[in-house]
Structure 1
């Protein structure tokens, strides 16, 4: 018989969600999901909503999540409301609700629906839940002027729907630090850099070997609300949006006016594409398309939105980023329906596009070092985690400061959840976690 789960750690990410558990023996175990594409540990943070009607029965709303939501969307893009990256508006007071199939969903409704689907697909791994869960949170939430207290209130409401009564929150890079600490043989000061889809977070932790085992002390933390999704937007803004009419003009009466830039701002967040398709702006876009100086480009924009080509675009952008992490030059290729966009991109060009985000990340590292009162020589090891850590320009931020020999990687998609589950076994949880808003 399998030992009961004692603690759960969950890394609810902008792109992927990972769940880890600890049992009596104390090791962290990452849960696996039997998905259509094969077993996986990184469960895509996506939701799908469809109205299904069996013969002779009333319509029924079908909710899917993860790879099952992606499959539903790919199979029937026109009738599937597909939502991804919804974590990115957790801390946004401007986001109050969205309407899906005439039903209103607040953020906590979306999160609750996602978590229920996640639990269902985890099977026995999340069958008998303990009362306590350690939830990862970014140091700085994504978005303009993010409200962290609001985000945690929304998290709390969503996780309570699974039945947890002791919900605690720990900073994501601290979770990664606990994961990395398992490999340490001597005392060390560790800088952890966690690069997600929406945020980049940094934490400096001192680990010391004692007679009672490994002890740790948090020295500093910082973060910035940009990461992989911001890199994606730079690629789209330079390669895709101009082919969809950005920077163009349209005629109205006796005037020639610029096409509004706000239509293309929606590409900054994947979740916004579905919202734009259902907004009043869609009528204006169709009107502009009929009067555009370059109507073929606006026709592509209409098709991308109408036919839900957002996921195909996401795949093309991700493929380019991955290729440029390995090669000095790569081909961007996006093909969906009648829309085809192809371009050669040099790594140096891409690094120029993302220079503002790289500068923001570097400034956050400066902030963490200043908080800890450390010079580069005071950091013994640097642990990089998260998908964006593979981008050479990101790694170079740390190689230039600390030297390549001090940089460690590994468990890019599993380290945070595993570390969070291990934090749940600490005797003094208040040192590393904070309680939910109404648990104080």
Structure 2
């Protein structure tokens, strides 16, 4: 194997999944694999599990990430905290820290803990000090009024702890564009649409070849902190929360009051649900249940948080969403700790729930075209990546604007990391970096 400095590393840290790719000077690129349960995995689930183990006379907090975090969580042999979708907190000024057992964790603590587990399982091929480490970032971070500068400060602090102080940060759809551009045999203007768990990002790129060298010019970018997790939110909000007390009432000081909705807003967001057990929400919900007119639904709500059923709920919701991409209806079912929620969901219902979200995504596509000063008919190819691109309402958006023949897609997980690694092998990787 050639010296590590000849290789470049591309890191796609995603809301749901993380992928690392390594590219060599010969243009060959491959994903870092993780051996787990007899399988070679190219995708490392973006999740953390903390638990306590006794050492001598005291307790020591242990942590695992990726599929090992899920394994540890499902085994349930120790008191634990399971955290997922924490990337969504990156640009949130209101997220200061979360308490896990005896320690407080800021966002950069969570991210660096996650990256250390990834490095441990990734083996020696992952060189954080490589000449070119290229890290993806959204065009716009998720959350209400996201603070871009804060997010990048947190990214740099977390990756710096592992030795990647000199890493470059590149828009995620630009990475996807580089991956796709290898297929081009002629000049083309391309729209790249990258749908993650927390953000939807769009880049318009002009690709050309001169003397056999591929050249790329970014024309315009736009992004919105809304994607697959927002669609999950709609399913939870319409199907699950009403069966857990949403819309119910309680009595206080002789008055009948509505159960506050903010508990259900947190419950329907995977990143917030992961934190409810460690916040004051659980205590407040128990107090509400004591005075609720119908306490049973609230008690089920409490059990989901108390018994860490959030991951099982995530799987049930994701399964229903995926099913609706290929079928006109599906049967939703979530079970655990005596809770059994079943409901038939039609694609028409789901599309009515996400209609406003899709409209906002469509407006962001238009914004990217406007910034690039390009009309839809001037886009030769539209490259779609990310699981949400399979949602029929999303695909229809692009078919209506660009026509089905101009749409193409690739592996929904690996394309961004591959492209980021390839940028590290380009003539001037720095020109693709985002100023911060």
TM-score, normalised relative to structure 2 = 0.97
Aligned to 2:226: 226
Looking at structure 2, the residues matched to 237 and 347 of structure 1 have their Cα atoms a distance apart, in angstroms, of: 16
Aligned to 1:22: 23
Matched-pair contact (CA < 8 Å) for 1:10–1:420 = yes
| 1:272 is aligned to 2:272 | yes
Aligned to 1:150: 150
Matched-pair contact (CA < 8 Å) for 1:131–1:163 = no
Equivalence map 1:101-116=2 (5 Å): 101-116=101-116
1:87-121: per-residue Cα shift (whole Å, max 9, x none)?
A: 10101111111111221111111111111110111
Looking at structure 1, the residues matched to 425 and 388 of structure 2 have their Cα atoms a distance apart, in angstroms, of: 29
Looking at structure 2, the residues matched to 430 and 120 of structure 1 have their Cα atoms a distance apart, in angstroms, of: 28
Looking at structure 1, the residues matched to 425 and 228 of structure 2 have their Cα atoms a distance apart, in angstroms, of: 31
Aligned to 2:90: 90
Task: Give, in angstroms, the shift of residue 217 of structure 1.
Answer: 0.6
Task: Give, in angstroms, the shift of residue 278 of structure 1.
Answer: 2.3
Looking at structure 2, the residues matched to 262 and 29 of structure 1 have their Cα atoms a distance apart, in angstroms, of: 44
Moved over 6 A (4+): none
Aligned to 2:79: 79
Equivalence map 1:370-389=2 (5 Å): 370-389=370-389
Task: Give, in angstroms, the shift of residue 11 of structure 1.
Answer: 0.3
What is the SS of the residue equivalent to 1:124? coil
5+ residue gaps, structure 1, are none
Looking at structure 2, the residues matched to 191 and 422 of structure 1 have their Cα atoms a distance apart, in angstroms, of: 19
What is the SS of the residue equivalent to 2:333? strand
Aligned to 2:200: 200
1:152-185: per-residue Cα shift (whole Å, max 9, x none)?
A: 1110011111112321100000000000001111
Pick closer, same or farther for the CA change 1:226–1:78 going to 2, 3 Å: farther
Looking at structure 2, the residues matched to 302 and 216 of structure 1 have their Cα atoms a distance apart, in angstroms, of: 52
1:174-208: per-residue Cα shift (whole Å, max 9, x none)?
A: 00000000111111110000000000000000111
Aligned to 2:241: 241
Task: Give, in angstroms, the shift of residue 240 of structure 1.
Answer: 0.3
Task: Give, in angstroms, the shift of residue 277 of structure 1.
Answer: 1.8
Task: Give, in angstroms, the shift of residue 274 of structure 1.
Answer: 3.3
Matched-pair contact (CA < 8 Å) for 2:83–2:275 = no
Looking at structure 2, the residues matched to 103 and 277 of structure 1 have their Cα atoms a distance apart, in angstroms, of: 15
1:236-261: per-residue Cα shift (whole Å, max 9, x none)?
A: 00000000000011122422110011
Task: Give, in angstroms, the shift of residue 294 of structure 1.
Answer: 1.8
Equivalence map 1:346-365=2 (5 Å): 346-365=346-365
Looking at structure 2, the residues matched to 259 and 314 of structure 1 have their Cα atoms a distance apart, in angstroms, of: 24
Pick closer, same or farther for the CA change 1:266–1:37 going to 2, 3 Å: farther
Task: Give, in angstroms, the shift of residue 270 of structure 1.
Answer: 1.4
Aligned to 1:393: 393
Task: Give, in angstroms, the shift of residue 279 of structure 1.
Answer: 2.2
TM-score, normalised relative to structure 1 = 0.96
Matched-pair contact (CA < 8 Å) for 1:36–1:67 = no
Deviates more, 1:66-75 or 1:249-258: 249-258
Aligned to 2:426: 426
1:394-419: per-residue Cα shift (whole Å, max 9, x none)?
A: 11110011110110011210000000
Aligned to 1:251: 251
Looking at structure 1, the residues matched to 232 and 38 of structure 2 have their Cα atoms a distance apart, in angstroms, of: 24
